[in-house]
Amino acid sequence: MDALEILSDLENCVPYFQPIFSADEQCIIAYEVLGRYQSGDGMISLGPFFLDNQIPEEYKFEVDLLLVKKALEKMLQLDEDVHIFLNRNADLLMYGHGEPFLQELLAFERKGLRLNRIVLEISDRNYQGDIDQFNHLLQYYRTYGLKIAIASIGSESHYFERIGQLEPDIIKINLQALKSTSTGMNFNDVLYSLSLLARKIGATLLFENIEMSYQLQFAWKNGGHYYQGFYLRPPEADFISRDILKYRLKEKFHDFIAYEKRKLEAIFTTTEYFHATVQEIVVKNRKSGYDSLFQALIKEMDEIAFRMYVCDEDGFQKSANIFKGKTGWRTQSEYLDKNWSWRPYFLENIIKLRHEQKGRLSDPYCDIETGETIRTFSFPVNETDYLFIDISYKYLFEHDQLL
């Protein structure tokens, strides 16, 4: 992209607006500003211009500030509760120590624009400057009411570190990762950790790059408050009716809710079946020892389970592992006396089993040894010991509502 061509034709640099929809109201709650250039070949994105390291920062800042001015002028016509997202990389934000940009925002505040409607969507992955100064600048902006959003997962360790440091108001999650088999497999685990962190710091999740229905369902299921992407609406030159997708989103949410209800019913029914089956076997083998108990369980659950063991209430294994490999069931004595209390939710699960005196089926998770998605059924054998039965991926796959 020819920088001089753009700088000599700033009149044709214009903001486009991509709407962001809310889950609770099913309406537009914000717009993200995206730069466009009207060339002889049509409207093209200014993204490559801002990402080109060969273009001086002062050129980028000039074009960006022009886009901001044009966008905020149009924003004055929006409802008071509609927000505007402005993309800012660290170098652009630090230009002139952040003061020219702030002064432009304050000029619009004098025109009646409340600055708490502005969300700075920041990226600092390639920033080579002083990160502490950058952090101080963001906190300074916050004193004027500006909100902070952190965009897309890059390096996971860096991303989580920055969230912890900045405690953003909004965390944007790029759903492009769902298209990749290599990243998609671990995406749920990363997202789960991310959602816990967001809840802890009081941040809102915004899912972007939603291009298909299943991605919208994924965002809805995983606690997304805000949604954005071409499946919902592409960037446009003008604002649109806030309720343009209200009916469609309501229908989609009804479908998602119905599906989740069927899934929860299936999980409940399966848990009840496991409970009844295991309880009968445990009662019959209560005085026979764990070897007899495992043999009886294998006869009944050979096509369901692949691992069984017993722990005490502190997580110490009271039995060996009984494991089903390619050649059949075998005993793994090396697991005797191992402790699992360090595992997330282990002790919480034990307390619930003790008080409810009823079997429980875990959420799906990735098994450390096999690498497959499994669930674990746990059951109180007596006052001190608890039975754990790992359910195979094959069984979950054949009963897909359990996945």
In what helix (H) or strand (E) does residue 43 lie, and over which residues does it extend?
strand 42-45
Which pTM value belongs to this model? 0.88
Strand partners, 118: 84
Residues 253 and 286 in one domain: no
What is the CATH classification number for the domain harbouring 357?
Answer: 3.30.450.20
Half-sphere exposure of 197 (CA within 13 A, CB side): 19
Residues 318 and 207 in one domain: no
Residues 250 and 292 in one domain: no
- Long-range CB pairs of 56-61 (<8 Å, 24+ gap) are 57/91, 57/92, 57/95, 58/95, 59/3, 59/7, 60/92, 61/92, 61/95, 61/96, 61/100
Has residue 17 been placed in a domain?
yes
pLDDT at 157: 55
CA distance 260 to 256: 6
CA distance 137 to 92: 12
User: Each residue's pLDDT tens digit in the chain (403 positions)?
Assistant: 678 888 899 999 999 999 999 999 999 999 999 999 998 888 999 999 998 888 888 999 999 999 999 999 999 999 999 999 999 888 888 999 999 999 999 999 999 999 999 999 987 666 778 888 999 999 999 999 999 999 765 445 567 778 888 889 999 998 886 665 444 446 777 787 788 888 888 999 999 999 999 999 999 999 999 999 999 999 999 999 999 999 999 999 999 999 999 999 999 999 999 999 999 999 999 888 899 999 999 999 999 999 999 999 999 999 999 999 999 999 999 999 999 999 988 999 999 999 999 999 999 988 988 989 999 999 999 999 999 999 999 999 999 899 8
Residues 216 and 83 in one domain: yes
Q: Which domain holds residue 331?
A: 279-402
CA distance 375 to 62: 55
Residues 149 and 283 in one domain: no
Has residue 238 been placed in a domain?
no
Residues 346 and 307 in one domain: yes
pLDDT at 179: 63
Residues 37 and 147 in one domain: yes
Has residue 239 been placed in a domain?
no
Total domain count, the chain:
2
What is the CATH classification number for the domain harbouring 16?
Answer: 3.20.20.450
Residues 298 and 251 in one domain: no
Residues 251 and 285 in one domain: no
Has residue 266 been placed in a domain?
no
Residues 288 and 196 in one domain: no
Beta strands 226-227 and 204-208: pairing type? parallel
Residues 329 and 391 in one domain: yes
Residues 249 and 297 in one domain: no
Indicate the residue type of 236.
E
CA distance 372 to 345: 20
Has residue 237 been placed in a domain?
no
